[in-house]
Chain A
Amino acid sequence: MNFLIQAFAFIFDPKHYGTANGIEVRLGQHLLISFEVLVIAALIAIPVGYLIGHTGRGRAFAIGFSGGVRALPTLGFMILIALGVGIGLGAPIVALVVLAIPSILAGAYSGFEAVDRRTVDSARAMGMNELQIVAKVEVPLGLPLLIGGLRAASLQVIATATLADYVGGGGLGRFIFAGVQTQDYPQMLAGSILVIFLAIASEILFSIIQRLVVPAGVTAGRPKDVRVKSSRSRAALG
């Protein structure tokens, strides 16, 4: 309990602000790393996921790839890259991008797969070309699952970006690694609390976005049902 109070004292101590190693600086670095990683991972994973979801090809590859990548120990992987590219931000960003890709990839292709095939079929029969089917049907209807994927990736990245400072990348990991080296437990705990705070903020932000992007028509006619899961399957509506 004492550590916890000391940790909060560390966080609110004005001495720990305004310097090059200030909390606001490390918080900013942490956010920037996470944001950059999410953007890069999304730029890679979303087009690939959409391609897989739209064509239905390469799904087995995506699952295998995601499974393999998820099993990679990020710390080891990051150090391996750092041996090549050197100390700094490069290695953590690459390692974190690799960490973030599987969730976003899965969100992108499962979002497309969740679209009723009959809806896609009728869009095609009306005379939409493949690009229009993607842009006007599959992307809007697949958005909720994609945002879910981004949400999971964001949480993972924010938590794991703590490792960035291990190879000199900065971020909130600095307080944890510095605390470990000097056996300064309040400082370690303060670093952890700040990461937790960011993770919770990310969850809240994404849950709001998720609610905003569900196409209105998808929820409009849905019967209001407070139970999470119906004990009986609901009869099909005529």
Chain B
Amino acid sequence: MIEFRGVSKLFPDGTLAVDDFSLVIPSRKTTVFVGSSGSGKTTLLRMINRMVDTTSGTIEIDGQPTTALEAVALRRSIGYVMQNSGLLPHLRVVDNVATVPVLNGVPKKEAREAALVLLDTVGLDRSLAERYPSQLSGGQQQRVGVARGLAANPNILLMDEPFGAVDPIVRSELQVELIRLQRDLDKTIVFVTHDIDEAFLLGDQVVILEKGGVIAQVGSPTEILTAPANEFVATFIGAERGKRALSIQKTATGDILVDSEGRAAGVLVQQSEGVVR
């Protein structure tokens, strides 16, 4: 469990990125921070592993303040995946994945073997292990980034718009992979995105942020869609108009769902079973 208590961040240039922010992030669930730029979502994420220091307030991980550990030790215990993968260009894929375990004192040979297993986990062929990051596609690099984030077997995985720079097809592939991974690994994932569709797809808990880290609404995708807390949320998720405001229209060939513009968006089918999050 990660708990923000009255956290504020004032940057030296006078920007108040986050003001008196409080939130509980449950363990073994995916929490998604979603908001437009300037909403402080990345700042919030980076405060968890102290890449950004809080100006006031505390952040606790399982009841222990993040300041109890040295920043370097804290960061090694938390996985981090960033937008451009952030791989070290001069190291081979396998050594990139093994970086943190090696820093932690795991013998190199052992760490490399564990890294190969992790490549399997994230769905990468082992033949890529000896390549350099620049020889991989954007999607493959992102997978290596995820494998590296998992290498020290952290409980918490921070993901800062990890799929923001890949094309839509690869992005949806990676999203499906992440859902599969999370089912197997049961990590506490904190995910940052500006894409509300991605937030609803991945998040067990979605946190919609307004400017300056103000929480507009926290809840499951279902809760947010069925009961947007305010005008801002409704507009942001497009509940009132656009592709989420669907209505049934009867046609000669059957019923279809149309969006607010009257365009066909889909059909209504009977779901045998399944739980909506």
Contact = CB atoms under 8 A, between A and B. Distances in A.
Interface of A: 116, 118-119, 121-129, 132, 136-137, 140-141, 215-218, 220-222, 237-238
Interface in B35-81: 46, 49, 51, 72-77, 80
Interface residues of B, number: 36
Contacts of A237: 138
A208 to B, nearest CB: 19
A125 B72 contact: no
Interface string B85-110: 11111111000000110010000000
Contacts of B100: 126-127
Contacts of B132: 216-217, 220-221
Nearest to A121: B86
A125 B75 contact: yes
B103 A221 contact: no
B112 interface: no
A114 to B, nearest CB: 12
Interface string B180-198: 0000000000000000000
A126 B157 CA distance: 11
B251 interface: no
Contact of A218 (B74, B90, B136): B90
Given A126-B148, A217-B90, 17 more contacts: A118-B82, A121-B86, A122-B82, A122-B86, A123-B88, A124-B51, A125-B80, A126-B80, A127-B74, A127-B77, A141-B89, A215-B90, A217-B88, A218-B134, A221-B133, A221-B135, A238-B165
Contacts of A141: 89-90
A238 B75 contact: no
B166 A125 contact: no
Given A127-B103, A220-B135, A221-B132, A122 B89 contact: no
Contacts of A126: 75-76, 80, 99-100, 103, 148
Task: Classify the secondary structure of B's interface with A.
Answer: loop
Given A126-B148, A128-B103, A137 B86 contact: no
Contacts of B88: 119, 123, 136-137, 217
7 contacts: A122-B82, A123-B86, A124-B75, A136-B88, A218-B134, A220-B131, A238-B138
Nearest to B91: A217
Contacts of B87: 119, 122
Nearest to A237: B138
Given A126-B100, A238-B137, A217 B92 contact: yes
B84 interface: yes
Contact of A118 (B51, B84, B99): B84
Contacts of B103: 126-128, 132
B231 interface: no
Given A127-B100, A220-B135, A215 B148 contact: no
B261 to A, nearest CB: 31
Nearest to B85: A122
A116 B87 CA distance: 11
A118 B91 CA distance: 16
A222 B263 CA distance: 45
A132 B92 CA distance: 18
Contacts of A123: 86, 88
B63 to A, nearest CB: 22
A106 B135 CA distance: 31
B273 interface: no
B12 to A, nearest CB: 14
A237 B139 CA distance: 11
B93 to A, nearest CB: 10
